[in-house]
């Protein structure tokens, strides 16, 4: 796996960093949020746009309130039309 860059930026202080591994970025975000209580944004830059979308949809921190409810990856309810 290659070609992925994750830019992390805190909305509440000047904390910002770039990682080339999603796991490193997630660890840094979790650590900063748990330490400071700040809200950290991240942008996944990848050669594959689909990977970026999937990463964002997955939620940054794993808390339910962070999930993107508009995501097509989230199965809200059966979308099959009644027949």
Closest to Zn ion by CB, 31 vs 48, is: 31
Residues binding Zn ion: what is the number (CB under 5 A)?
6
Q: Under the criterion CB under 5 A, does residue 9 sit at the interface with Zn ion?
A: no
Question: How many Cβ atoms are within 10 Å of 39's Cβ, its own excluded?
Answer: 14
Q: Under the criterion CB under 5 A, does residue 15 sit at the interface with Zn ion?
A: yes
Closest to Zn ion by CB, 22 vs 32, is: 32
| Dihedral sign from CA coordinates of 67, 52, 10, 5 | positive
Question: How many Cβ atoms are within 10 Å of 12's Cβ, its own excluded?
Answer: 12
* Integer Cα distance of 63 and 79 in angstroms: 25
Q: Under the criterion CB under 5 A, does residue 74 sit at the interface with Zn ion?
A: no
Interaction mask 24-53, Zn ion, x per CB under 5 A: ------------x-x---------------
* Integer Cα distance of 66 and 55 in angstroms: 12
Residues that bind Zn ion (CB under 5 A): 10, 12-13, 15, 36, 38
């Amino acid at each position: 796996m290659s070609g992925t860059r994750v830019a992390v930026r805190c909305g509440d202080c000047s904390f910002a960093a770039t990682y080339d591994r999603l796991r490193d970025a997630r660890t840094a975000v979790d650590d900063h949020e748990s330490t400071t209580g700040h809200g950290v944004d991240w942008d996944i830059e990848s050669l594959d746009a689909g990977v970026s979308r999937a990463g964002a949809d997955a939620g940054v921190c794993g808390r339910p309130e962070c999930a993107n409810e508009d995501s097509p990856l989230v199965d809200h309810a059966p979308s099959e039309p009644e027949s």
